[in-house]
Amino acid sequence: MPKKLLPLILWISIAVLGAAAMGGIALSRGESINAIWFIVAAVCVYAIGYRFYSAWIAARALTLDETRATPAERINDGRDFVPTNRWIVFGHHFAAIAGPGPLIGPTLAAQFGYLPGTLWILIGAVLGGCVQDMVTLFFSTRRNGRSLGQMARDELGPIGGAAALIGTLMIMVILIAVLGLVVVNAMKHSPWATSTVFATIPIAIFIGLYIRNIRPGRVLEGSIIGVALLLLSVTGGGWIAHSPALSGYFDLDGLSLAWFVIGYGFLAAILPVWLLLAPRDYLSTFMKLGTVILLAIAIVILRPEVKMPALTQFIDGSGPIFGGTVFPFVFITVACGAISGFHSLIASGTTPKLLSNERDIRMIGYGGMMLESFVAIMAMIAATVLDPGVYFAINSPAGVVGKEAAEAVATISSWGFPVTVEQMNELARQMGEATLFARTGGAPSLAVGMASIFGSAFGQGMLAMWYHFAIMFEAVFILTTLDAGTRVGRFMLQDLLGNVWRPMGRTSWYPSVLITSAAIVAAWGYFLYIGVIDPNGGVNILWPLFGMSNQMLAGIALSVATGILIKSGKLKYAWVTGLPLAWLLIVTTSAAWQKIMSEDVRVGFFAAANDLAVKLAAGALPPDTATVAPQLIFNQRLDGWLTLFFVLVLWVVVLDMLRVAARHLSDKPVLPVTESPHIPSRLVEDWVRD
Amino acid sequence: MFKRKLVVLINAIRHLSGDDAYERYLAHHAQTHHDEIPLNRREFFKQEQERKWSGVRRCC
């Protein structure tokens, strides 16, 4: 049968090509490997995962029913529920799930070498992250677009529901703090970056006024003007940085910038959305999609060589960027690029209300996460095409490699990653910065990687412009996540407090708005402040904490999904979500165990606190560290307790799910499956009834 | 041919960005609530943005 033969040959070739590319990446030692193989391997893995695994999940495990009317078709209120073209929904969904996480995580994980991160980004996405997004989208669609928290409550009971709610609130706080820290580290003592990022605020406000008052609702027009202004602000920033009179105003230390970010977050939370949040989001979405496409094109044109080895000696846990062995910390660090619990909040709630047909769930849920994982692969490439010495010089905190440039290059060169002060100075000069040493957080090294890729592909002369363009691009959508996250946190807190005292629950009552916004900003502002005063850069503490909270949320989503599968009589398919859940449970629990129990001061929170306390008491700390030591000690202990809390929440939800499953399997009463009844779709023209 | 594809693309971008939200609202309104007066453009966008940003809209 030649009709069947052609696809068979095609898929066998894709499998062989993918296996060859993966094998090349995995087995290459000693000589450098071309980045194009990463792209080939990724595309083949995604193609096979999508064509076979997602199709099987859609047909067997979930049994998508294209004759069933979706909530959008049934309710169609013209607002929340609107049947929408699948490509448009895909665009909305991807714009919502793609954030700074998959750019930062792989950049930090590159300290283990390119291999562990790359493998997990591909395998984790195809078997874990994409599955989570797809099944959550499916279950929420079958429940009129109910949120993850509501589904947890309806299907598992009040314990699961409360855990999902508290988990979401906590992850939000940690996420915003770490993102704030990334922006602060990118702007620290860089007048160019600072003035460019500052300029994005009046630009967003102008666009907000434009879309609201000058030309109401002309979103596209406003966005195009805004993007042009943003590009202009990159040039303007360079002009300010070179002006001796002006650059001083924007040459700020970390603490001043942290206070600025905190103040900004508070204002953004209490100001009307149309003034700052919504216009900034339009701009950031355009920048995000544009830059991702540009980066993909540049990598394909340029085909850069990856200079990082497949594995570094830091898989033993001694890495300078963050402490901890490759298992479990590569999984915790990559986080969003492979499995992101946060996506389950988008996949339940907003996206299911737009689906016009259930069959789109496969493309939007599974496919959307595949694209996100591809962004993570590109971030990994951008980090690993740098000279490893340069990569470590940018990302290692001064507290680990030393404050002086000579000291830092000596330490890094002694690890076998040669780098010189002259090389770093020349690079900083090319990028238009005073220094690139100890710019932790991932954003600057990603920007250097992107600038060198863009520079080689589209012209070397503008490296400094590309670098600051990349910084601005990252800052714009980090600040959007910060705005949006603070606002969501505020709503959730208002909702919680509304149960205690009714008026607090009114989302537009100003005293409640002020109090709850201040509480959320104070919560993340605290972690941001500690991160800034920490001589080890803070990212080494906050990113693992964020990773664990994110994986915890993914565990909650997968528990809810597994519970529903079992309750709907699909026990034999429960492994589809059950296996990723088990893996997340192993990873998160062992990471938490090490973070709490490890004697290594660079891994264990309590060990670090005790070590610092002993040194402080003995007077062995340098004076600048000694003044902040009490705060650092308190913070390390707090982080330890927080870790314990995260892992307990996860276990409570998993055990609750197992309890419900066991009751169901032994024919004891459980909460009923809350799926909405089957109503035939009238949008489907060809009636294919099974 | 090329022109038609361009129109499709522009419409998709308008739809994605929400540029045509008011037109879609008017069309929906005419179909379902023809006895009521629709909101004007400015009022519609005010409500639309409040609605859009009252839930989780952006991820990490």
First to last CA, chain A: 26
CB A383 within 8 A of CB A334: no
Q: What is the architecture, at CATH level 2, of domain A8-189+252-665? A: Up-down Bundle (1.20)
Contact residues for A208 (Cβ-Cβ < 8 A; gap 6+): A274, A275, A276, A278, A279
Contacting residues of B for A507, CB less than 8 Å apart: 54
Q: Which residue of A has its CA nearest to B28?
A: A78
Phi and psi at residue A251, in whole multiples of 5°? -90, 85
Contacting residues of B for A221, CB less than 8 Å apart: 19
Whether residues A212 and B18 touch (CB distance < 8 A) is answered with: no
On whether residue B17 sits in a domain, the answer given is yes
CB A526 within 8 A of CB A532: no
Closest Cβ opposite residue A216 in set B45, B54, B59: B45
Half-sphere exposure of A452 (CA within 13 A, CB side): 22
Whether residues A349 and B56 touch (CB distance < 8 A) is answered with: yes
Whether residues A219 and B17 touch (CB distance < 8 A) is answered with: yes
Chain B interface, best mutation among A148, A219, A280, A549, by max B CB count within 10 A: A219
Q: Does B36 touch chain A (CB under 8 A)?
A: no
* Mean pLDDT for chain B overall: 86
The most confident of A477-486, A493-502, A568-577, by mean pLDDT: A568-577
Shortest distance between the Cα of B28 and any Cα of chain A, in A, equals: 6
CA angle, residues A412, A413, A417, in degrees to nearest 5:
85
Shortest distance between the Cα of A346 and any Cα of chain B, in A, equals: 7
| A315-329: average pLDDT | 95
| A554-576: average pLDDT | 96
Express each pLDDT in A631-683 by its tens digit: 999 999 999 999 999 999 999 999 999 999 999 999 999 999 999 999 999 87
Contacting residues of A for B49, CB less than 8 Å apart: 273-274, 278
Q: Which residue of B has its CA nearest to A89?
A: B16
Whether residues A88 and B12 touch (CB distance < 8 A) is answered with: yes
- Find where tokens 């001796």 sit: A244
| A84-101: average pLDDT | 92
Alpha-carbon distance of A641 to A636, in angstroms, equals 9
Shortest distance between the Cα of A659 and any Cα of chain B, in A, equals: 30
Q: Which residue of A has its CA nearest to B57?
A: A96
In this prediction, residue A543 carries a pLDDT of 95
**ipTM higher than the 0.85 cut:** yes
Whether residues B53 and A273 touch (CB distance < 8 A) is answered with: yes
Closest Cβ opposite residue A274 in set B13, B14, B46: B46
In this prediction, residue A686 carries a pLDDT of 47
Contacting residues of A for B55, CB less than 8 Å apart: 147, 349-350, 488, 491
In this prediction, residue B60 carries a pLDDT of 76
| A68-77: average pLDDT | 93
Helix (H, G, I), strand (E, B) or coil at A318: coil
A10 pLDDT more than 90: yes
Q: Which residue of B has its CA nearest to A271?
A: B50
CB A113 within 8 A of CB A494: no
Contact residues for A231 (Cβ-Cβ < 8 A; gap 6+): A469
Q: Does B9 touch chain A (CB under 8 A)?
A: no
Whether residues B45 and A212 touch (CB distance < 8 A) is answered with: yes
Closest Cβ opposite residue B50 in set A97, A216, A273: A273
Contacting residues of B for A217, CB less than 8 Å apart: 19, 21-22, 41-42, 44-45
Chain A with chain B: Cβ pairs closer than 8 A: 110
Strands A33-34 and A305-306, sheet pairing: antiparallel
In this prediction, residue A408 carries a pLDDT of 95
Domain with B6, as residue range(s), is 1-34
Contacting residues of A for B18, CB less than 8 Å apart: 219
Shortest distance between the Cα of A101 and any Cα of chain B, in A, equals: 5
Contacting residues of B for A282, CB less than 8 Å apart: 17
Tokens of A220: 């596209």
Express each pLDDT in A330-374 by its tens digit: 999 999 999 999 999 999 988 999 999 999 999 999 999 999 999
Alpha-carbon distance of A127 to A577, in angstroms, equals 9
In this prediction, residue A689 carries a pLDDT of 41
In this prediction, residue A166 carries a pLDDT of 86
Alpha-carbon separation of residue A475 from A383, A399, A525, A670 (angstroms): 18, 25, 17, 47
Contacting residues of A for B51, CB less than 8 Å apart: 79-80
Tokens of A63: 């049994």
* Residue A477 pLDDT grade (very low, low, confident, very high; cuts 50, 70, 90): confident
CB A336 within 8 A of CB A102: yes
Q: Does B37 touch chain A (CB under 8 A)?
A: no
Alpha-carbon distance of A4 to A367, in angstroms, equals 25
In this prediction, residue A684 carries a pLDDT of 61
Alpha-carbon distance of A388 to A418, in angstroms, equals 8
Closest Cβ opposite residue B60 in set A282, A340, A349: A340
* Residue B58 pLDDT grade (very low, low, confident, very high; cuts 50, 70, 90): confident
Please state the domain count of chain B. Answer: 1
- The region, left, alpha or beta by phi > 0 then psi within -120 to 50, assigned to residue A619 is left
Q: Which residue of B has its CA nearest to A342?
A: B59
- Find where tokens 């330890």 sit: A640
Express each pLDDT in A170-212 by its tens digit: 889 999 999 999 999 999 999 999 999 999 999 999 999 999 9
* Mean pLDDT for chain A overall: 93
Contacting residues of B for A99, CB less than 8 Å apart: 58-60
Alpha-carbon separation of residue A585 from A551, A571, A588, A647, A661 (angstroms): 9, 20, 5, 9, 18
Whether residues B51 and A80 touch (CB distance < 8 A) is answered with: yes
Tokens of A210: 């434009």
Shortest distance between the Cα of A340 and any Cα of chain B, in A, equals: 8
Crossing angle (nearest 10°) for helices A463-500 and A443-458: 140
In this prediction, residue A462 carries a pLDDT of 87
Contacting residues of A for B57, CB less than 8 Å apart: 96, 281, 346, 350, 484, 488
In this prediction, residue A688 carries a pLDDT of 44
In this prediction, residue A256 carries a pLDDT of 96
Helix (H, G, I), strand (E, B) or coil at B18: coil
Whether residues A273 and B49 touch (CB distance < 8 A) is answered with: yes
A427 residue type, one letter:
L
In this prediction, residue A687 carries a pLDDT of 44
In this prediction, residue A399 carries a pLDDT of 87
A522 pLDDT more than 70: yes
Percentage of residues in chain A having pLDDT higher than 70: 99
**For the residues of A199-256, what is the DSSP string, one character each?**
HHHHHHHHHHHIIIIISTT-HHHHHHHHHHHHHHHHHHHHHHHT-HHHHHHH---HHH
Whether residues A336 and B59 touch (CB distance < 8 A) is answered with: yes
A154 residue type, one letter:
D
On whether residue B41 sits in a domain, the answer given is no
In this prediction, residue A2 carries a pLDDT of 64
